[in-house]
Amino acid sequence: MAKGTQTVVELRRLRRATLEEIAALNEQLQAEIEPASAPDDDSVDVAADIYERGKTLSLIQSLEDKLHNIEHAIAVASKGTYGICENCGSPIPSERLEIVPETTLCVNCANKLEQGIRRRRIQMADEESLEEEHSIDDEYEAEEEEEFEEESDDEL
- As a three-state string, the secondary structure of 101-147 is CCCCCCHHHHHHHHHHHHHHHHHHHHHHHHHHHHHHHHHHHHHHHHH
Greater confidence (128 vs 132) lies with: 128
Residues 14 and 101 sit within 8 Å (Cβ to Cβ): yes
What percent of the residues of the chain are helix, what percent strand, and what percent coil, each to the nearest 5? 80, 0, 15
Residues 75 and 8 sit within 8 Å (Cβ to Cβ): no
- Cα angle 53, 127, 64; round to 5: 30
Residues 63 and 18 sit within 8 Å (Cβ to Cβ): yes
Q: How far apart are CA 121 and CA 64, in angstroms?
A: 20
Other C-beta atoms closer than 10 Å to the C-beta of 143 total 10
Greater confidence (29 vs 2) lies with: 29
pLDDT at 2 over 60: no
Predicted pLDDT of residue 77: 93
> Against a cut of 0.75, is the pTM above it?
no
**Mean per-residue pLDDT of the chain:** 84
